[in-house]
Structure 1
Amino acid sequence: MGVVKSYVPEKLVMGILISDLDMLRGLKLKLKALWGELDSCTEAVEFRYTDYYNAEMGSPLYRIFCSFTTLVNPENLAKIKLKSNEVENRFIRGSGRVINLDPGILSQSKFILATTKNNAHRIPMSLGIYGELTLQYRNGEFRDLEWTYPDYRGQAARQYLLSVRNTYKEQLKSISHKP
């Protein structure tokens, strides 16, 4: 029989879709207030993978990824997703969102996104939130799965997450060396 252990803390990563870059500074301040310092963010890149969000959010849309300095307990991902939905609602303009937030957790072996949408490849976590294994780390790189969203399949996203993984590994070393 296996022994139940506490979860190892993981790296919180936020995927951001935004239609008004003027709101980005205020959004980052809100994210910082909720989950701590941002230790890295990508540049805003035009999001051209789908027009799924355009009717609600407008276009062009921009994709940004940010990671946080403070590590999180992975069992809190569902609560983080619910809080990120509240943040989206604070940035509603007219009849729709101008910001879409996709929180995920990164470990040394995987990247999991939180979602409200059920599907065969998603695992119920709690509070109506599902976890989706989005990328697996194998042989020195993040590898996509058949259901991985196109923007997470892209080389830029996977390279960014690889750099976040390297930061995460260093954070874990410093945790394990504390008396």
Structure 2
Amino acid sequence: MSIPKKPDAAKLVISVFMNDKELFDELLPVLEKAFGPTENISGWFDFDYTDYYEGEMGTPLFRRMLSFGSLIAQDDLARIKETTNAMEKTWAVNGRRNLNLDPGYLLLSRFVLATGKDFSHRIYIGRGIYAEVTLMFKKGKFHSLAWTYPDYASTEMTDFLMDVRRQYVTDLK
């Protein structure tokens, strides 16, 4: 018989992409008010792996990744996704998003993203939100899975997540 135990706290990571980099300066204090001070902020990544968002958000699109100093309970992810969805609506104009926020969390063994979209490899976590293991960590590095979006498998992304993971290891001590 397995004995349930409280899961480890996780490192909150949020992907932000937009077509107007100036929005980031407005958004950052709102994110920090909701989730606490940021710990790591990536440089700008080009978001050119898909044209899925171009009709709504235009081009070019740019991404930044953020991690936060305070650890979160893993079961807070659905609530966090609801909060980021509300933020997206705040910045929307005529029903079109100007930014996209994708929260997730990092543990020693994996990186998990939240989404409102169901699919065979996603697990329902409540509040209309699903979670997917996007990357696994083994043998000293992150590994993509069959469903991992190419941008999350990129070197710039996994390098950023390695930095976040190193901080997370320190946080756990």
Q: Which residue of 1 aligns with 2:83?
A: 83
* Structure 2: distance between partners of 1:151 and 1:14: 14
* Structure 2: distance between partners of 1:140 and 1:53: 33
TM-superposed CA distance for 1:69, in Å, is 0.2
Q: What SS does the corresponding residue of 2:22 show, helix, strand or coil?
A: helix
* Structure 1: distance between partners of 2:125 and 2:94: 32
Q: What SS does the corresponding residue of 2:75 show, helix, strand or coil?
A: helix
TM-superposed CA distance for 1:56, in Å, is 0.4
Q: Which residue of 1 aligns with 2:153?
A: 153
TM-superposed CA distance for 1:73, in Å, is 0.1
Q: What SS does the corresponding residue of 1:21 show, helix, strand or coil?
A: coil
Q: Which residue of 2 aligns with 1:45?
A: 45
Whether the 8 Å contact between 1:39 and 1:67 is mirrored in structure 2 is yes
TM-superposed CA distance for 1:46, in Å, is 1.8
TM-superposed CA distance for 1:2, in Å, is 2.0
Whether 1:109 aligns to 2:109 is yes
* Deviation sequence 1:30-59 (CA, Å, 0-9, x none): 100000000011111221101110110111
* Deviation sequence 1:64-94 (CA, Å, 0-9, x none): 1000001000011011001100010111123
Q: Which residue of 2 aligns with 1:120?
A: 120
* Structure 1: distance between partners of 2:13 and 2:45: 17
Q: Which residue of 2 aligns with 1:169?
A: 169
* Deviation sequence 1:95-128 (CA, Å, 0-9, x none): 4111000000100000000000000000111111
**TM-score, normalization: structure 1?**
0.95
* Deviation sequence 1:15-42 (CA, Å, 0-9, x none): 1111111110111111000000000111
Whether the 8 Å contact between 1:56 and 1:95 is mirrored in structure 2 is no
Whether the 8 Å contact between 1:11 and 1:168 is mirrored in structure 2 is yes
- List alignment gaps of at least 5 residues for structure 2: none
Q: Which residue of 1 aligns with 2:22?
A: 22
Q: Which residue of 2 aligns with 1:177?
A: none
Q: Aligned partner of 1:94: which letter?
A: N
- What value does the CA root-mean-square deviation take over the aligned residues? 0.8
Q: Which residue of 2 aligns with 1:73?
A: 73
Q: Which residue of 2 aligns with 1:36?
A: 36
Runs of 4+ aligned structure 1 residues displaced above 3 Å come to none
Give aligned pairs, total.
173
Q: Percent identity of the aligned residues?
A: 39
TM-superposed CA distance for 1:60, in Å, is 0.7
Q: What SS does the corresponding residue of 1:100 show, helix, strand or coil?
A: strand
- List alignment gaps of at least 5 residues for structure 1: 174-179
Change (3 A) 1:95 1:127: closer
